Chains A and B, each alone.
Chain A
Amino acid sequence: MTTETIDRIISGDVRSAARLMRGIEEDTPDALKTLETLYRHTGRAYIVGITGAPGGGKSTLVDALIGAFRRREMKVGVVAIDPTSPLTGGAILGDRVRMQQHCTDPAVFIRSVATRGWLGGLARAAVGMMHVMDAMGKDVVLVETVGIGQQEVDVTRLAHTSLYVLTPGSGDSIQMMKAGILEMADIFVINKADQEGAYRVKMELEAMMAMQGEHPEAHEQRQPPVLLTEAVYGKGVDDLCQEILKHRDYLLSYGLMQKREHERVRLELAEALEAALKALIDSRTDHELYESLVDDLVQRRIGPQSAASQLIGRLSRT
């Protein structure tokens, strides 16, 4: 990869960007080096995370949001994450099915990515892809997570604004009380609001948030709005888009954007560090010892903690 590649990507070239994303997924040294250089050209895109249970309409909502942002003449990037099969390593990436009406719009770039075993609803490559779209000059990057439900806090910390999508009948207030969801979302979206019970969910949510009171860390003292949408018909989506931009203004006007950016970057660093350490450990692990420890574990001769200590002890000696 050359400075030519960098220039091409910055001028919005889709082929070069798409190929770089491939390299990021495969962890090729060349691609990672290019990404490193490209990083200096990022930091302008506004990142919106979309999370929530499977089947809640996240992809359809993203599709409608692309339209809403385009009507505001903003350029849009989408990173759509789907799960990798733990058995075969294969994946069916189907989020695009709902977004195909936008795929020939040159101001829109949609990329599907498989989790490849990464937890937290994200794919490790997703962060790099966000950077590439940012460098391409996208004004807003929408990141749609896998939709496992309650363990998707990561994306909310990687986004400037995070949406949590739920549907009428997707669980009672006890679900909402569980840690993570209420504290992390900036905007709640009740999609499929034509179904029975939408207003009840809205009321329950608002009641729960009112009860939460003034948590010192929770949300900079702003109560997240709860919006009703019918994404298939585009209903309520313009309001949602407006609400996202309002949240951006809010972050900017209260000087919170910098704080958020710090948190975001801190998490990116943590993830990069974790990945690098994991790679280091993998490359230095004594595989014979590893396998014999697995046998010991199966035979219950030792526990996992001491097995791990033994491996780490060996590492620090090499």
Chain B
Amino acid sequence: MRAEKKLRVLVAKPGLDGHDRGVKVIARGFRDAGHEVIYTGVHQTPEQIVSTAIQEDVDLVGLSCLSGAHLFLFSEVLRQLREQGADDITVIGGGIIPDEDVLRLKDAGIREVFLPGTSLDEILKWTEENVCPASSGQEPAR
């Protein structure tokens, strides 16, 4: 699937989880759709993810967590984005996440959660429908 508009996407792995196969597949998927993907490697703190998202002016942050610490880590990323006035950035998540946590993450502000078995096309289609490139040249919302 080829994207109609070019986005800047950050894919990141917060916390101590070192399983990066999935996130690399996602990164390639976004690249092949024509997006620019910033990859920061494993073991990122929420602070690192948030400051990277701001420095790189991304439209979308994809968080991957397979260790079970998603509730704390994802929420912390959201909290810090808000604190920096950067909560206009869309955040999605993926990984080994129990169904009951999906709702809690969405309540916290994660826009969508993709579980194992989701196809790349599904994720790209969702992105196409839900994420717009920041109107460049405009001042960021505060």
Contact = CB atoms under 8 A, between A and B. Distances in A.
Interface of A: 1-2, 4-5, 14-16, 18-23, 25-26, 28-31, 34, 84-85, 88-94, 96-97, 100, 103-104, 109-112, 114
A19 B113 CA distance: 27
Contacts of A30: 137-138
A88 B136 contact: no
Q: Which of A16, A22, A96 has the most CB of B within 10 A?
A: A22
Nearest to B41: A97
Contacts of B48: 100, 103-104
Nearest to A15: B140
Taking residues whose C-beta sits less than 8 angstroms from the other chain, chain B's interface range is: 35 or more
A267 B93 CA distance: 44
Interface residues of B, dominant DSSP: loop
Contacts of B19: none
A96 to B, nearest CB: 5
A18 to B, nearest CB: 4
B31 A23 contact: no
A88 to B, nearest CB: 5
A216 B40 CA distance: 45
29 contacts: A15-B140, A18-B54, A19-B57, A19-B134, A19-B138, A21-B57, A25-B136, A28-B137, A30-B137, A31-B137, A88-B32, A90-B33, A90-B34, A90-B36, A90-B37, A91-B31, A91-B37, A92-B28, A92-B37, A92-B39, A93-B37, A93-B38, A96-B39, A96-B40, A100-B41, A100-B52, A104-B51, A111-B56, A112-B38
Contacts of A90: 6, 30-37
A92 B34 CA distance: 10
